[in-house]
Amino acid sequence: MEKRGRGGRVPAHQPAPQSSATPRRDRRPSMFEKESYAQILRERLRDSLHEVQYVEPPLDESTADLGKEWKSALARLKFANTYRMEPPKKFQAHSVETKVQRILKDNLKDVKYDDKVFSRLSLELADCIMSVVKEFGYQRYKFIVKVLLIQKTGQAINVASQWIWDVAWDSWVAAKHETETYVALALVFALYCE
C-alpha cells in the first residue's frame, strides 16, 4: 500500500502511478484564463453554426423594401445615460386636476347611469384624460389613469391604491363629478422614471 501525503497528494519524491488501461486526458481549459476563453467559445459554437445553402430572392422590389422596413422597425435606439436624477419640469397636480375636472364635467353633464354605456364610457374618459395629461409635456413620467363610475344606491365604497412611491417626484390627482344617479371618480398617478 502506498503512502500519500497530506490532502491525498503523492509526495514529490515518488512518481504518480499511471494506469496503462486509461489514457491520460488533458485538463480542460478554464473559461477564466485569457488564452482559453476563445477556444471554449469556438468549441461551443462549432455545433451551433449552420450554413445557409440557398436564399430565395424577393419577388419584386416592393417585397424587398418590406424587409428593410421590418429590420429598421426592430432596430433599437441606444441612448447615452444622462445621469439626471430629477425631472426638468415637476408634475403640477393643481393644473392637471382642473383639466381632469373639466373633462369629467363636460363629458358627463347630461348622462344618466347605464351600466352598458358606462363600461365603454370609462375607457373613453381614461383615454381622453391620458391624452390631455400627455399634452402638458412632463418628461420621464409614466402616467396611470383610473376612471371609476359608481351607481348611487345607498352603498358605501372604499377605493385604495398602493404604490412604491418617491415622495420627492411622484404625485397623483383625484377629480370627482357627482350627479343624482352616479359618482365619477378619475385618478391620475404620475410616476417619475429616472
Are the beta carbons of 188 and 145 closer than 8 angstroms? yes
Name the amino acid, one letter, at 21.
Answer: A
Instruction: Examine residue 64 and state whether it is found in any structural domain, yes or no.
Output: no
Instruction: Examine residue 26 and state whether it is found in any structural domain, yes or no.
Output: no
Instruction: Examine residue 183 and state whether it is found in any structural domain, yes or no.
Output: yes
Q: Tell me, what's the pLDDT at 52?
A: 47
Find the domain containing 103 and state its range.
93-154+167-192
* Tally of CB atoms within 10 A around 151: 12
Output the average pLDDT for the chain.
77
Give the model's confidence band at 104: pLDDT under 50 very low, under 70 low, under 90 confident, else very high: very high
Residues above pLDDT 90, as percent of the chain? 34
DSSP structure string for 135-147: HT--TTEEEEEEE
Identify the CATH number of the domain in which residue 181 sits.
3.30.1140.40
| Three cell numbers written together for 185 | 371618480
Are the beta carbons of 190 and 129 closer than 8 angstroms? no
DSSP class of residue 91 equals -
Backbone phi, psi, residue 90, to 5°: -75, 145
Instruction: Examine residue 112 and state whether it is found in any structural domain, yes or no.
Output: yes
| Three cell numbers written together for 23 | 489514457
**Into how many domains does the chain fold?**
1
Instruction: Examine residue 42 and state whether it is found in any structural domain, yes or no.
Output: no
Instruction: Examine residue 46 and state whether it is found in any structural domain, yes or no.
Output: no
d(CA 130, CA 148): 15
Are the beta carbons of 68 and 58 closer than 8 angstroms? no
Q: Average pLDDT, stretch 114-135? A: 92
